[in-house]
Amino acid sequence: MRTSILFAALAVLPHIHALSETLFTDGFENFDQTKTAAYLELNPDRTKLIEGEEALSGNVSAELDTRKDKSPFPLSLKISHPEMLPGFQYRLSMRYFAPKSRDGSAPRYYVYMERKPSPPENRDPAIGALNNTYSFFGSDAPQTFCGTFVPAADGDSPYICLTSAGGARIIVDDIKLEKSPLQKCVWMLEKDAFLFLRIPPTGGYYYNESEAMFEISKKDFFPFIDKYGQFKHKSWPNKITADSDFKKMLEAELAFNSKLGGVKNRDKYFGLVAKDRKFNATGRFRLQKVDGKWFFITPEGNLFWSHGIDCVGGAPSTPTSKREHYFEDISDSKYSETGWWAKVFYEPGKFKTFNFTARNIDLKYADKAPDYKNVAPARLKTWGINTYGAWTQTDLLKAEKIPYALILSSIHPLKLESKNKLYGYWKPFPDYFDPRFGEMTKKAVLKSADLIRSPYCIGVFIDNELPWQSKTISTPKAVLTCPADQPSKVEFKKFLQKKRKNIENLNNAWASEYKDWNEFLSRTDFVPKTGEGKRDMLEFEREIYRHYFKTCRDAVKNADPEALYFGCRLAWTNVLVEKVASTYCDAVSFNLYRDSVADFDLPEGAKDKPVIIGEFHFGNQDRGVFGGGLRPCATMAERVKKYETYLDGAIKNPRIVGAHWFQYFDQPTTGRCGDGENYSVGFVDVADTLQYEMVEAARKFSEEMYEKRLSGNRSSSIENSKR
């Protein structure tokens, strides 16, 4: 059993009200005879028992596998009970392990109460607990799920469902359904109680109903954000309660920084200064394998491992339109703007925002506020953070005080107009065979040539979290259902003409009935099912990836042949795209939100290239920001421990050359512009106060990282070769 992991998960279960009643619990130990099986609806053709060491607890767990189901949201299990009635609240908990697919993708799951039948795709998890929906991704370790549900007053025989997007495999155990009286905070579970918050006060896994804030009535709860942008109904260390507190916080930080001083034995680029570890200095950052481990080499010829933070200097705003009653004071127009980006709820350019951090900086630094641009680099040097990550303010990059990884975007005017819808969180799937793609991307990258050519630039990301599909051949299938003039479909035709020569050969291979190549283009209702057809689609998918990565690499090298190209920060990915990326990237970038990366590697068959982590984080839920990020924790202490474990695995992984934390500031309690993310993941809070525990952990890691990285085998001679 995975006991060491499960005990940690159990420790963060939410508080259960003292008057709660257990309606049923099932650990599957006697599944054939269990009386509670009547409350669980499982598809027998999609369910099997996992026994012995693979069980999550006890001797048996249940594996639910819906990967062969055709529904876009196949049902994994359904939970009902005759005592599930309006007027009470219900807490469902279960242990689960949702392993990632062989291609590395993490399936997405939804747990929801059916109030009135409606398709799951209408329950958008991006805007909080809409219709009591909880969502989570598959992970690399067992977890514990908990969710609170309240049936609608007019609900008829409500039930709770577990589904996944497109079908997936999940192992579950220790399912428990508890019933308790409605609490005062039940109003927080209403659909429109908190507009535009990704995580409401009752969201996540760690809220505690015994806290005083949950005894507050709806009338008295609002406004719940004070003049400093902080949650009003809770206290935590270093919370600002008056303007005079800013001076105290500033004095405390200066004393803290003075005590720490700078990290010893570092060159001007924060590379390791060691007489027996000197390498060829080229005036630019480059990559080299040393004793079987990948490193950056600084422009001065010293070893460098990229310990970074994203979004440095960028103070996030929060939308205020249609939510003015949330805020105690948003009267100063100096800090209010029109929102330009909106993924959900708002229309771009048609909502107002407020920047509490900007106002707090003015209050904290007073007449010295214009010099705030010097605060971030001074902080990072003291903390031992040696890299500005993606989306750091351009003025900080131009100042050339700290190395940076630059992020730019490719330009792709067209998208795939496909009948087969492809998953894309940030954008629809682009058509990279648009003939304008290469030239427009080259011109866009050239606009940042000065930043790319700087000796402080460690490398360039082009794009972020593109909608690569987790299942191969999904993309070419979509291309086949596009209209005749779709550039990717035209390119697919050229590919097949070169390989198959004529339409007769294609029909024989695909079991198709195309009259000619024009009909191949015009038809949007045929996808081959033969082995030869699938191989052709897979080969064309490889061509899509090749074209994309080569175009972006060439754009970077056109701006500066010495610049390093890091790819597109893979999040939704598959083995094929990773292999192709390894061919064209100097280092392959991934956004890896997981507990550990100690064993992370490129897939078999990939080129021997280093990996750089563009994003990771862990978020606590005990300091007034409701969301714990993509890897939530109950407390700051737990967040620090996970941060240390993650970095320890990264520095010891011979392929990984850096890891960048997302992000510098906490996200607003009331959600960032665009998609409502409200995660407590910053090194600095909304009031510009340091999260000292995280800073201390970062500094300790920075002091020890090269010793850890260099432990183990070592060559007998100094390496001076340039790769």
Same domain, 296 and 353: yes
Number of domains the chain contains: 2
What is the average pLDDT score of the chain? 89
Higher pLDDT, 715 or 98: 98
- On the question of pLDDT at 12 being above 50, the answer is no
| Counts of helices then strands in the chain (DSSP H, E) | 16, 24
Q: 92 and 213 in one domain?
A: yes
pLDDT band at 33 (very low <50, low <70, confident <90, very high): low
Residue 563 has pLDDT above 90, yes or no: yes
Q: Are residues 191 and 312 in the same domain?
A: no
The pLDDT of residue 3 is above 70? no
What single DSSP character describes residue 61? E
Residue 443 lies in a domain: no
Q: What CATH number does the domain containing 337 carry?
A: 3.20.20.80
Q: What is the predicted pLDDT for the residue at 578?
A: 97
487-500 helix and 503-510 helix, angle to the nearest 10 degrees: 90
> Longest Cα pair distance anywhere in the chain, in angstroms?
82
Phi then psi for residue 317, to 5 deg, are -95, 165
Residues 213 and 288 in one domain: no
Judged against a pLDDT cut of 50, whether residue 237 lies above it is answered with yes
pLDDT band at residue 193 under the 50/70/90 scheme: confident
Tell me the per-residue pLDDT of 660-703, one tens digit each, with 9 for 90 and over. Answer: 999 999 999 999 999 999 999 999 999 999 999 999 999 999 99
Question: 411 falls in which pLDDT band (50, 70, 90)?
Answer: very high
pLDDT beyond 50 at 559: yes
Q: What is the pLDDT of residue 356?
A: 98
17 vs 68: CA distance, rounded Å: 40
Q: Is 286 in contact with 301 (CB distance < 8 Å)?
A: no
Residues 188 and 105 in one domain: yes
Q: What are phi and psi for residue 570, nearest 5 degrees?
A: -65, 130
Confidence of residue 187 (pLDDT cuts 50, 70, 90): confident
Instruction: Indicate whether 132 pLDDT > 80.
Output: no
Is residue 357 in some structural domain? yes
Task: Say if CB 599 and CB 619 are below 8 A apart.
Answer: no
Assess whether 180 and 293 both reside in one domain.
no
Phi first, then psi, for residue 590 (nearest 5°) are -135, 145
**Per mean pLDDT, which range of 411-415, 438-442, 550-554, 602-606 is the poorest?**
411-415
Summarize pLDDT for 258-281 with one digit per residue, the tens.
Answer: 999 999 999 999 999 999 999 999
Domain membership of residue 472 (yes or no) is: no
- DSSP string of 168-223? -EEEEEEEEEEEEEPPGGGGGGSTTSSTT-SS-TT-SS---TTSGGGGS-HHHH-S
Rg (CA), the chain: 27
Residue tagged 């029109």 (tokens): 338
Q: With b meaning 16 or more CB within 10 Å and e meaning fewer, what string describes 158-197?
A: bbbbbbbbbbbbbbbbbbbbbbbeebebbebbeeebbbbb
What's the per-residue H, E or C state across 256-325?
A: HHHHHCCCCCECCCCCECCCCCECCCCCCCEEEEECCEEEEECCCCEEECEEEECCCCCCCCEECCCCHH
Task: Indicate whether 147 and 11 sit together in one domain.
Answer: yes
Tell me the pLDDT band of 19, cut-offs 50, 70 and 90.
Answer: confident
Q: Are residues 298 and 363 in the same domain?
A: yes
Least confident of 80-84, 122-126, 521-525, 683-687: 122-126
Q: Which of 179, 205, 220 is the last residue in one of the domains?
A: 220
Asked if the model's pLDDT at residue 605 lies above 60, the reply is yes
Q: Tell me, yes or no, whether 94 and 214 share the same domain.
A: yes
105 band by pLDDT with thresholds 50, 70 and 90? low
Report residue 360 CA to chain centroid gap.
28
Same domain, 173 and 261: no
- Residue that finishes a domain, picked among 198, 220, 242: 220
Q: What is the mean pLDDT of residues 108-121?
A: 66
Decide which of 344 and 136 is more confident.
Answer: 344
Q: Let me know: does 369 contact 292? Beta carbons within 8 Å.
A: no
Beta strands across the sheet bearing 293-297: 286-290, 293-297, 303-304
pTM: 0.86
Q: What is the pLDDT of residues 441-497, one digit of tens each?
A: 999 999 999 999 999 999 999 999 999 998 899 999 999 999 999 999 999 999 999
Q: At which residue do the structure tokens 């048609």 appear?
A: 350
What is the pLDDT, as a whole number, of residue 34?
60
Has residue 567 been placed in a domain?
Answer: no
Specify the range with the lowest mean pLDDT, choosing from 52-56, 108-112, 647-651, 689-693.
108-112
pLDDT band at 53 (very low <50, low <70, confident <90, very high): confident
Please state, in angstroms and as integers, the Cα–Cα distance from residue 416 to each residue in 411, 434, 468, following that order: 14, 10, 13
Asked whether residue 71 carries a pLDDT value surpassing 90, the answer given is no
Single out the residue in 203, 220, 237 at which a domain terminates: 220
Model confidence pLDDT, tens digit, residues 610-647 = 999 999 999 999 999 999 998 888 899 999 999 999 99
- Give the pLDDT of residue 145: 86
Local confidence band at 240 (pLDDT 50, 70, 90 cut-offs)? very high
Inside any domain, residue 34: yes
Residue 559 lies in a domain: no
The answer to whether residues 445 and 408 touch, using CB atoms and an 8 Å cutoff, is: yes
The CATH number covering residue 167 comes to: 2.60.120.260
Strand partners, 115: none
pLDDT (0 to 100) of residue 717 = 33
pLDDT tier at 155, thresholds 50, 70, 90: low
Q: Is residue 596 part of a domain?
A: yes
**pLDDT the model gives residue 108:** 79
The reply to whether 278 and 209 lie within a common domain is: no
CA 444, CA 408: separation in Å to the nearest integer? 8
Domain of 636, in residue numbers:
252-402+592-710
* pLDDT bracket for residue 115 (50, 70, 90): low
Query: Within 10 A of 717 (CB to CB), how many other CB atoms are there?
Result: 5
Single out the residue of 254, 339, 210 nearest to residue 675, CA to CA. 339
> What integer is the mean pLDDT of 295-308?
98
Pair (84, 163) in one structural domain: yes
Residue 407 lies in a domain: no
